Amino acid sequence: FFLMIRLPPRSTHCISSAASDVYKRQVRSRVKSNKAELQRRVDEKVRQNKEVMKQRDQEHKRKLQEMEDRLKNRQLLMKQTNPHAEKLAKMENLLKIKQTAKESGARDLDSLFTPAEQDLIREAELLQRQKELKEKLKR
């Protein structure tokens, strides 16, 4: 037994026949409708993605604003609880700079700092000595 696949008879063997033209038109219309459907789907996905990105952007902006508000509140609270916090932080930074300059072999340390900064450094050094003396007394 041989199973043969039989093709339906062709109405004409000529490539440019009327039947061939009908077939070509059917294929073209299917391609056009498929292309239009595909374009519609792509456009819908693009629209959905834009909406999702817009929502994410809004969420990120909201979270960023919340973080900024928390930071401002924390800074305000720090200023209220310790009004000298900024001054102390600046003093610590100046001491670190002075220490680094000493370690690197700088000779004229006073020329590195303004007179106001030199006053802050002296004050910071006094505070450091006071802390050290308090610790010694506790022992």
Amino acid 28: pLDDT: 67
Q: Please check whether residue 121 is in contact with residue 87, taking contact to mean a CB–CB distance below 8 angstroms.
A: no
How is residue 95 written in tokens? 């001491």
The per-residue pLDDT for 100 is 85
pLDDT of 36 reads 81
Q: What is the pLDDT of residue 81?
A: 72
Rounded to 10°, the helix 18-81/85-103 angle is 100
Per-residue pLDDT of the chain (139 residues; tens, 9 = 90+): 455 555 555 555 555 555 666 566 666 666 677 788 888 899 999 999 999 999 998 998 999 899 999 988 887 877 777 767 778 888 888 888 888 888 888 777 778 888 998 898 899 899 889 989 999 888 7
Instruction: Quote the pLDDT of residue 44.
Output: 94
Residues 96 and 120 sit within 8 Å (Cβ to Cβ): no
Q: Are 87 and 123 in contact (CB under 8 A)?
A: no
Give the sign of the dihedral formed by CA 42, CA 48, CA 51, CA 56.
Answer: negative
| Global pTM value | 0.38
